[in-house]
């Protein structure tokens, strides 16, 4: 089987993670713009970050056989710094139009503040102006309240639910999000969002329509193999291969291909890996590492997904 991880912060991960994902069948990733773990203090930091996820990170992924896409947005946590937020809003149109950008996101709520709501609204307006998809981050606290309010705001703007992904769902939000017609994403992030055993139960109860999973792997305790590991568990628990494909590949593709930026041919017809290539003069190699030039072998030994 092949997989898409439609929400993973690869800027925080190592090249070993890319190799492991490639060998586990992950053909494509989507990297949402997000909070990096400490506050950014000026718009120049945001500009450099956006440039990195549309540039170097896209190249770095390709050097390990993985197709990289991203979303561009002001995250909810940093929306509370109004000076930073205002200047970041000026940057967004420039980066939202770059190659490989599939949505405005991740946007939404963190602490449910007035400023978070202000910039959520402004970024939805931008998405409408640019005719782009929207990726919504639902809060870790007040999950249900934040999710319902996020959908209410989307509907006040007249967004088509089929062009909105509501992420980080759980058992208390799934029914309402599905009933209101949104793409319903679940993050397999141990301990804080959704475990893969719980995800199996959700698929058994709600089916596969408009449901997909991601890892949201970042600088915290997380697992970039969350999607293939959950797929394996689903198969072991009696979910059909067809349904596993929908949840771990097809539904994410169907949601994000509406952007016109992501297509199956991107990975089925991708260029061969050639680690002799450079990006702005830089390479993924260090020291005396021998460049990998792809033939018919995997980048590394096959891994066993436990």
Burial level of 59, CB count in 10 A (0-12/13-18/19+)?
Answer: middle
Among 216, 243, 218, residue whose Cα is nearest residue 231: 243
Q: Quick: pLDDT tens for 84-94.
A: 999 999 999 99
Give the CA-trace dihedral at 264, 265, 266, 270, to 10 degrees: 130
Average pLDDT over residues 188-206: 85
Beta bridge partners of 184: 166, 211
Residue range 36-89, pLDDT digits in tens: 989 898 999 999 999 999 999 999 999 999 999 999 999 999 999 999 999 999
Tell me, yes or no, whether 210 lies in a domain: yes
pLDDT of 303 higher than 80 = no
Distance CA 88, CA 82 (A): 10
Would residue 152 count as lying in a domain? yes
Alpha-carbon distances of 76 from 91, 104, 158, 221, rounded to whole Å: 16, 12, 21, 21
- Domain assignment present for residue 99? The answer is yes
Domain that holds residue 41: 3-268
Q: Kindly report the average pLDDT of the chain as a whole number.
A: 94
Examine residue 295 and state whether it is found in any structural domain, yes or no: no
Question: 265 pairs with which residues across the strands?
Answer: none
Spatial CB neighbours of 52, under 8 Å, sequence gap ≥ 6: 11
Domain containing residue 147: CATH number: 3.20.20.140
Q: Is residue 298 part of a domain?
A: no
**Residue 294, in any domain of the structure:** no
Higher-confidence residue of 296 and 172: namely: 172
Is residue 146 included in any domain, yes or no?
yes
The pLDDT of residue 193 is 64
Total of domains in the chain: 1
- Whether 296 is in a domain gets the answer no
């Amino acid at each position: 089987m092949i997989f898409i991880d439609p929400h993973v912060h690869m800027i925080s991960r190592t090249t070993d993670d890319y190799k492991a994902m490639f060998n586990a069948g992950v053909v494509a990733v989507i990297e949402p713009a997000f909070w990096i773990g400490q506050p950014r203090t000026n718009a120049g930091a945001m500009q450099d970050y956006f440039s990195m996820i549309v540039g170097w990170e896209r190249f770095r992924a390709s050097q390990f056989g993985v197709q990289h896409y991203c979303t561009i947005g002001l995250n909810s946590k940093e929306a509370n710094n109004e000076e930073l937020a205002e200047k970041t809003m000026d940057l967004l149109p420039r980066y939202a139009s770059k190659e490989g950008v599939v949505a405005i996101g991740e946007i939404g709520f963190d602490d449910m503040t007035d400023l978070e709501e202000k910039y959520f609204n402004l970024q939805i307006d931008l998405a409408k102006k640019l005719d782009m998809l929207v990726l919504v981050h639902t809060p870790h606290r007040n999950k249900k309240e934040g999710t319902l309010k996020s959908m209410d705001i989307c509907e006040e703007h007249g967004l088509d639910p089929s062009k909105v992904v509501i992420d980080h769902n759980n058992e208390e939000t799934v029914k309402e999000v599905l009933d209101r017609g949104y793409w319903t994403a679940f993050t397999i992030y141990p301990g804080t969002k959704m475990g893969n055993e719980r995800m199996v139960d959700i698929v058994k109860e709600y089916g596969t329509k408009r449901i997909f999973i991601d890892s949201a792997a970042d600088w915290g305790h997380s697992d970039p193999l969350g999607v293939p590991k959950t797929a394996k568990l689903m198969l072991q628990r009696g979910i059909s291969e067809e349904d596993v494909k929908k949840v771990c590949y097809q539904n994410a593709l169907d949601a994000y291909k509406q952007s016109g930026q992501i297509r199956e041919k991107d990975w089925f017809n991708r260029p061969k890996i050639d680690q002799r290539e450079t990006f702005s003069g830089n390479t993924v190699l260090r020291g005396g590492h021998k460049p990998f030039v792809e033939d018919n072998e995997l980048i590394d030994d096959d891994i066993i997904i436990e």
